[in-house]
Amino acid sequence: MPAKSGRLQVQKTYKLFIGGKFVRGENGCVLAARGKANTHLANFCRASKKDFRDAVVAARSAFPNWSKQSAYLRGQILYRAAEMLEMRRGELQNEIARSNNNSVSSSETTLSIDRLVHFAGWTDKFTQVFGAVNPVASSHFNFTIPEPTGVVAVICPDDPPLLAFVSLVMPVILSGNCAIVVASETKPLPALTFSEIIATSDVPAGVINVLAGDRAELAPHIASHMDVNAIVDGSGDAKIGQQLQRGGELNLKRYARRQLSDREWRGDAGENPYWILDTIEMKTAWHPIGL
């Protein structure tokens, strides 16, 4: 029999990425991603409090293994993610272009790949740069060594949707932390597509968890959760920033603010290696000098 014409195309619903799996979300709600003239691009799942809590559990479970991996191995894993992003460059360019209402959008994808490679190179260098051998008045060696702080919540700005995601998340995880990332609220599709690259790369499940939805809805849960150790806030929303800081005061979360313009995200400010310091703890160890 001849093939039927006018078949219905299978429409993609973009899922949340939690613990290495794509989930629709506990509440079953979806939101519409909009493009030019309010055109409907696709549906994506809306994260709830329960989804955030599940992401924290996944990140905490992944933390012991990820933090114990060698710096060299973490660098190789992140470089592999850059390779995967390079291979799917065209797909990401399309996602960014239709989210930004542009016909061509190659620069952000290229910058994202380069930014990923840049931070992959820091995995085996930040310890030497930020650590120290300290002079002491006794027969001991005294070392200060950076160690990951644990589970970090990352809130992304709306622009640039992919480059900011990479620029915020990589300094967090390269030291051994695990991340729960809230993608751009108005342009979530590039970040949710990038989670598919994470899933097929060598990044262990739970190291990066990607949520999408209403930042204002998730902010109080991020601020109050006792098993989140730090917050990196790139939302650019002063009200959300205050809410996150007030909640963090009660359980001593570290809070780092990243408020950059679109141009700054694309320049040297967006690849600042000192951002690594915001989600590491300094451990000092003494070792006796043998006679």
Give CATH for domain 13-288: 3.40.605.10
E-strand ranges in the chain read 13-14, 16-18, 21-23, 30-34, 40-45, 132-134, 140-148, 151-155, 178-182, 208-211, 230-233, 254-257, 280-288
Structural contact between residues 143 and 134, judged by C-beta atoms closer than 8 angstroms: yes
Separation of alpha carbons 50 and 73, rounded Å: 32
Tens of pLDDT, residue by residue over 219-240, are 999 999 999 999 999 998 899 9
Structural contact between residues 14 and 40, judged by C-beta atoms closer than 8 angstroms: no
Q: Tell me the domain boundaries of the chain.
A: 13-288
Nearest Cα neighbor of 173 from 222, 219, 206 is: 206
- Per the prediction, the chain carries an average pLDDT of 90
pLDDT of the residue at 141: 85
User: Is cis: bond before 160, omega within 30 of 0?
Assistant: yes
* Whole-prediction pTM: 0.91
Nearest Cα neighbor of 276 from 205, 176, 206, 190 is: 176
Residue 102, number of CB atoms within 10 A of its CB: 12
Quick one: pLDDT band at residue 3, thresholds 50, 70, 90? low
SS3 for 262?
Answer: helix
Tens of pLDDT, residue by residue over 31-71, are 888 877 778 888 899 999 999 999 999 999 999 999 999 99
